[in-house]
A and B are shown apart, each in its own frame.
Chain A
Amino acid sequence: MANRAQHGWWRSAAPSHPTTVFLLLWLLGSLLLAFVLIPLLVLAGTPSLSGLIDAARMPDVRDSILLSLEAACLSAILTALFGVPLAYVLARTRFVGRGIISAIVDLPLAVPHTVAGIALLMVFGRQGILGEPLQALAGLKFWGTLAGVVVAMMFVSAPYTVNAARVGFEGVDLQLEKIARTLGLGPWRTFWKITLPLARRGIFTGMMLTFARSISEFGAVVILVYYPKTAPVEIYELFLRVNLQQAVAAAVLLLAVSLGLFVLLRFVAHNPDLRESR
């Protein structure tokens, strides 16, 4: 009887527990799943197809979605550029204050995003301690520009890349790096040929999370930049100034685009050809 459970579509990973326990766990878990899925399904089912097409034809909506994608992409890439080296250091060295450094990495997760936006404004704003000199010296402006959007997105989403890449690096067997060295590879070649490829799933997952978090950012972006409008800002504006109907249509469009990308990236990440086999 216990065997039947092992052969059917249902497999218990912990055979020590009776099936009734799992039924209870499933009941609780499915409530949470429903709680996540129902609002999204209701939202997706609300606008008519023609409403969606109309929304897609609105230049403001289209531009805002494209801007969101572009800025989130840049945010993910820049975060990886600066975050992956930090992740490697945190994964591979032991030093005094390492705990504090990892706490700083996680800090943006605990800062409310409007607070983050105001803090960023004081630094990157028109009179900010970096914003003013950077504009004077390099002509780099963070208000009303793509650069500002990217900065706001990076601040709130960087922890995901650093943490996931760190887990990725921690999962690389030190013995493999040692073997690479004895086979004649110097420290740099060992990093590029062995460590980085083996940690790439972690790095990629982190970049995906940063990308997704960047797309969804509203609070910090709206305070630091406002214009040009990202998709969440545009949706908020439609909701406030126009009507719920148009806000819903724009929201469904953004949802479709970001979910589509999410599924595509997950597919790429889980493709066995691109994944190391254990």
Chain B
Amino acid sequence: MTNIAIEGLSLSLGTFALDNVEVALDGGQILVVLGPNGSGKSVLLETIAGFHRPDAGRILIRGIDVTRLPPERRRVAFVVQNFGLFPHLTVEQNVRLALGPHAKDKRSGVLSPLAGDAAALLSYFGVSHLAARTPGRLSPGEKQRVALARALAANPDLFLFDEPFSALDSQTREQLRDDLLSLLRRICLPAIFVTHDHTDALTLADRVLVLRHGKTVQVGTADDVYRRPSDAFVARFSGVENILTGRTGAAQGNRLPVAVGDIVLQAVKPSSPPGAEVQVCIRAEEVRLHDARSAQDSEWRENRFTASVANIRRMGAVVRVELEGPCRLACCLLTPQLQEMRLERGSSVEVSIAAEALHLIPA
């Protein structure tokens, strides 16, 4: 049964707008709404929470139409940047404040013994020892746990996260993401997580919705968005480094030739008519470089050509190599690989790309 359904949601709000957004979400699923600043993703979340009235569409939570209910009656938990703990209250008071009329309603699963009990909630999240502290001096991880305990005190049917990690350094971010994921998996409530960080999307999402100017550009699994972006915008946004313009030729077997720059690359045959202009997406890590030893491997015969190294950019664990040749390509290597291959600016290198790595988007 569908737990959360958003049907044809439209809204215009100053410079922000939502246009016919559709979402369906089951219990325990995490939907990540991915979009750049100004795409309307926060407005979507605030509309679901009840802070904006949509011009059209419905919001159903557990089958109940909440479109016209005020936020306090929707039973959604809202978690924001820095977690929004009330600074003038202790951790325990923060949780107690949320013990409202629904606090003691029956719940399912791991949550049933926690109903209406602030102390039990704090201990479930391992933060009992912080009960008397004010939020000011908590670590981000502690804040996140207190925020979840507080949100659950009100017995929500849906979790909404509005870029909770955006003010954190990448290391803390990673820890909190893991922590959040395992807690959400245990709690088994549906969650909508808004972010502009595609790593958040890849690690958290059961499904991803990419939003641009208030319109849904793509819905799918994180892998879909990562490997098969529906257009050049999604491709760029999910970090595809090589987006080349090409023209398809006549399909042969299950291979489709695509002319890119001065070379014809083989792609896996999609349903594209010959002679069509396409955009070819190739992720930087799918571009393989070979030294003389592996040059004989028959395995890597497809889409093989020689290019020269135009630039090398070291980024710690990985290295970005920019290639010039029949077409310009960026390629991503692990640092030890670069050292093994003794690549430097101007060196000549063998390149191969698996046909499966070419993703074609109609231009």
Interface of A with B (CB < 8 Å)?
173, 175-176, 178-187, 193-194, 197-198, 276-278
Contacts and interface: CB of A to CB of B under 8 A. Distances in A.
Given A181-B70, A182-B72, A175 B84 contact: yes
23 contacts: A173-B84, A178-B46, A178-B71, A179-B80, A182-B49, A182-B50, A182-B71, A182-B72, A182-B160, A183-B77, A183-B98, A184-B72, A184-B75, A184-B101, A184-B154, A185-B97, A186-B70, A186-B72, A198-B86, A198-B88, A276-B87, A276-B88, A277-B136
Contacts of B101: 184
B137 interface: yes
A200 to B, nearest CB: 8
A40 B49 CA distance: 58
B78 A178 contact: yes
A180 B71 CA distance: 9
Contact of B87 (A183, A187, A193, A277): A277
B150 to A, nearest CB: 7
A21 to B, nearest CB: 34
B100 interface: yes
Interface residues of B, number: 32
Contacts of B154: 182-184
Nearest to B151: A183
A46 B100 CA distance: 63
Given A183-B98, A183-B154, A184-B98, A178 B49 contact: yes
A277 B87 CA distance: 6
Contact of A182 (B74, B134, B136): B74
Interface in B137-156: 137, 150-151, 153-154, 156
B71 A176 contact: no
B41 to A, nearest CB: 15
Nearest to A198: B88
B76 interface: yes
B78 A179 contact: yes
Contacts of B72: 181-186
Contacts of B150: 183
A277 B132 CA distance: 13
Nearest to A186: B72
Given A173-B84, A181-B70, A198-B88, A193 B77 contact: no
Interface string B77-106: 110110010111000000001101110000
B26 to A, nearest CB: 21
B250 to A, nearest CB: 57
A197 B150 CA distance: 19
A152 B231 CA distance: 69
A197 B97 contact: no
B49 to A, nearest CB: 6
Nearest to A184: B100
B233 interface: no
A186 B154 CA distance: 13
Nearest to B49: A182
A101 B160 CA distance: 38
Contacts of A178: 46, 49, 51, 71, 78, 80
A184 B78 CA distance: 11
The 4 A-B residue pairs whose C-beta atoms are closest, nearest first, are: A184-B100, A181-B71, A276-B88, A183-B98
Given A277-B134, A278-B136, A179 B97 contact: no
Interface in B315-352: none
A187 B72 CA distance: 9
